[in-house]
A and B are shown apart, each in its own frame.
Chain A
Amino acid sequence: YKTFDGDLKWDHNDVTYRILNYSPDLDSSVIDDAFARAFKVWSDVTPLTFTRLFDGTADIMISFGKKNHGDPYPFDGKDGLLAHAYPPGEGLQGDAHFDDDEFWTLGKGPVVKTYYGNAEGAMCRFPFVFGGKTYTTCTSEGRADKLPWCATTDDYDKDGKYGFCPSELLFTIGGNSDGAKCVFPFVFLGDEYNSCTTEGRNDGYRWCATTSNFDQDKKYGFCPNRDTTTIGGNSEGEPCHFPFVFLGKEYDSCTSEGRGDGKLWCGTTSSYDDDKKWGFCPDQGYSLFLVAAHEFGHALGLDHSNIREALMYPMYSYVEDFSLHEDDIEGIQYLYGGKTDPKPTVPQPNTPTTTAIPDPDETDSTDEPEPEPEPEPTNHPTTTTSTPLDPTKDACNVIKFDTITVIGGDLYFFKDGHYWRKSGKGDSALKSPMLISERWPALPAVIDSAFEDVLTKRLYFFSGTKFWVYTGKNVLGPRSIEKLGLPDSVQKVEGALQRGQNKVLLFSAENFWRLDVKTQTIDKGYPKFIDVVFGGVPIDAHEVFQYEGHTFFCRDRFYWRMNSRRQVDRVGYVKYDLLKC
């Protein structure tokens, strides 16, 4: 192995990374997961941890680009240079760039994640049989809306399992349209377009308008690559057109006819003879996971190795069951040392990607924070309503809060008779803990959930089967939750979500009820199952709250964030993303 001159390395172990953009070759969740696994290759053998940031500047900024992509080292089209990365340091140092003229896969051909359909997002299975015919790519056969689809088993006629393939007719990536699909035709600079285009851009990425007139609305998105998207050639990623005519003969699939190098190609219009539009067909592609693991080795301080089997060997070769070579391990441990313990007592804050739900077995509630030393007596006058407590009682050591809620727009974290307040947006500092009993004397030490009534600003607190209602300093309670119409089977209320002016959803175990705050009764038709209405979140979340337009479901130290369209758009750590530890 080799390190860079001066043994360049990070001066901290909790390294951060941020994905700046995505390749159209793969679904973003597949890219997120490939990068997370590539970082895990290194965190498994060192004390390093990797935390994903979604904004601001991270140590390792990851991006895709083509040819001249903003640094002094341009890429070179398909094949040749695949990617590069810079050794640790400020600015460009530590960053990793991937050549998007390559066809990025997981090393064994197109990775086509499906959407909708009935296969829960499973990958396409090629080849598959439909109507007795065999298909090796997505098809719009059998559909009037021409949406490309595929089977997720090898026989659709038998299993009936299918999903829709990535296509600009279904959604777009990035841009400013929140993933809305393309609108065809659309007008751009006065011209009408019936397909994605690279016009107006110098980075070669295909885009479309998501309204009928870009000149007017300026709404756009990037087009996802279809599984039949061509690579290189002169069609800028247009999908193959089957059948196409070449030298007078009709072709229904890719061919190497006409070439001496045996590479498979296709026409991207119905006749190559007439239009001369073509591209290479998707091949096995390059494993984004393997190339990223190599580049991240550079971003951590490793140079190239001359051991052919080592990950840090400069040439690409696909490996099915990858594991680090001892040469790589010796190199990275020379820089950062070995892993300090066989299994992290506190899981590394490698924020799970939006698809990889953290391993529930990792939650070990044994690691209660160390007992704090007796706090120094504070002699300065308290300026707040409650005496600030032991400021070293650090919220960042709390694995699981009793409850989290929003009061007056601020986030409140409750635990064992204390609460922390985090005001406003962004990175404002967390106030040191206060005593619940000083601000709300009637309340017990453990609060299961709480909410602020939007209209009256009354505060509802729940603990066990009791609840309290504070109006300013005045309190009503404790009263039984059965007074609200909840059944006596409910042992505790674990979450509350305001809905409109006077409705609140109350969560307990895998059910939720809707409370009409004005009549103080439960609406008809409840309870409902959480996983029926809020698909994709854990049904044993012990905190549910609304914050900044999103719904948060918390379990242990993790949160699942759901947007207004009830899509889980982020999974992360309460500690890092909400407490900003």
Chain B
Amino acid sequence: WSVPLKSVFVTFPGDVIKNMSDTDLAESYLKKFGYMDTLHRSGFQSVVSTSKALKRMQRQLGLDETGQLDTQTLDAMKRPRCGVPDVAN
């Protein structure tokens, strides 16, 4: 086996690098699709509402309702989809 070519990673100008953290990604997803209202709650409540909101999203998308930001949930949040909110408001 030849030594594998060292792949050079290049930063492409204008590349929309979605280097959002998983938490930021989850927060914006839950708000955008109506699982979590956009009101900012105090720290403690926001944790409850995020977990509760995650459970609602997992139920809507037919995922295991763990209330956790696990891999299956993150993958679902990265998939292309319709822009209509899941929770009518």
> What residues make up the interface of A, taking CB atoms closer than 8 Å to B?
2, 4-5, 73, 75, 77-85, 99, 102, 232-234, 247, 257-260, 265, 276, 278, 286, 291, 294-295, 298, 303-304, 306-308, 313-316
List B contacts of A4 (CB < 8 A).
88
Q: Is the CB of B9 within 8 A of A258?
A: yes
Interface locus among B43-51, B56-64, B66-74: B56-64
B50 CB to nearest chain A CB (Å): 20
Quick one: closest A residue to B29, CB to CB? Answer: A80
Quick one: closest A residue to B86, CB to CB? Answer: A304
Quick one: closest B residue to A2, CB to CB? Answer: B88
A179 CB to nearest chain B CB (Å): 31
Known interface pairs A77-B16, A233-B15, A303-B88. Does A294 touch B82 (Cβ–Cβ under 8 Å)? yes
Q: Is the CB of B83 within 8 A of A75?
A: yes
Q: Which of the residues A75, A233, A295, A314 comes within 8 Å of B14, measured between beta carbons?
A: A233
Give Cα distance in the complex from A314 to B12, angstroms: 31
B56 CB to nearest chain A CB (Å): 10
Q: Is the CB of B82 within 8 A of A258?
A: no
Q: Is B4 an interface residue (CB 8 A)?
A: no
Give Cα distance in the complex from A291 to B83, angstroms: 11
Q: Which of the residues A79, A265, A307 comes within 8 Å of B80, measured between beta carbons?
A: A79
Give Cα distance in the complex from A77 to B79, angstroms: 14
Q: Is the CB of A306 within 8 A of B84?
A: no
List B contacts of A5 (CB < 8 A).
88
Q: Is the CB of B84 within 8 A of A259?
A: no
Give Cα distance in the complex from A294 to B43, angstroms: 38
Q: Is the CB of A73 within 8 A of B86?
A: no
**Residues 25-47 (chain B) with a chain A CB within 8 angstroms:** 33
* Total contacts A-B at CB 8 Å: 91
List B contacts of A99 (CB < 8 A).
83
A121 CB to nearest chain B CB (Å): 30
Quick one: closest A residue to B89, CB to CB? Answer: A5
Give Cα distance in the complex from A81 to B79, angstroms: 9
A287 CB to nearest chain B CB (Å): 11
**26 A-B pairs (CB sep. < 8 Å):** A4-B88, A75-B83, A80-B80, A81-B82, A258-B12, A260-B7, A276-B12, A276-B13, A294-B82, A295-B82, A303-B84, A303-B86, A304-B86, A306-B60, A313-B62, A314-B60, A314-B81, A314-B82, A314-B84, A315-B61, A315-B76, A315-B79, A315-B80, A315-B81, A316-B79, A316-B81
Chain B contact patch, size range: 20 to 34
Q: Is the CB of B62 within 8 A of A304?
A: no
Known interface pairs A79-B80, A80-B80. Does A314 touch B62 (Cβ–Cβ under 8 Å)? no
Q: Is B10 an interface residue (CB 8 A)?
A: yes
A219 CB to nearest chain B CB (Å): 31
Q: Is the CB of A82 within 8 A of B8?
A: no
List A contacts of B82 (CB < 8 A).
81-84, 291, 294-295, 298, 304, 314, 316
Quick one: closest B residue to A73, CB to CB? Answer: B83
Give Cα distance in the complex from A81 to B80, angstroms: 6
A84 CB to nearest chain B CB (Å): 3
Q: Mark B1-22, 1 if CB is under 8 A from A, else 0.
A: 0000001111011111000000
List A contacts of B10 (CB < 8 A).
247, 258-259
B71 CB to nearest chain A CB (Å): 16
Known interface pairs A306-B60, A307-B62. Does A82 touch B9 (Cβ–Cβ under 8 Å)? no
Give Cα distance in the complex from A316 to B82, angstroms: 7
Known interface pairs A304-B60, A306-B60, A308-B62. Does A233 touch B12 (Cβ–Cβ under 8 Å)? yes
Give Cα distance in the complex from A260 to B88, angstroms: 37
Quick one: closest B residue to A258, CB to CB? Answer: B10
Q: Which of the residues A85, A276, A295, A314 comes within 8 Å of B86, measured between beta carbons?
A: A314
List A contacts of B9 (CB < 8 A).
258-260
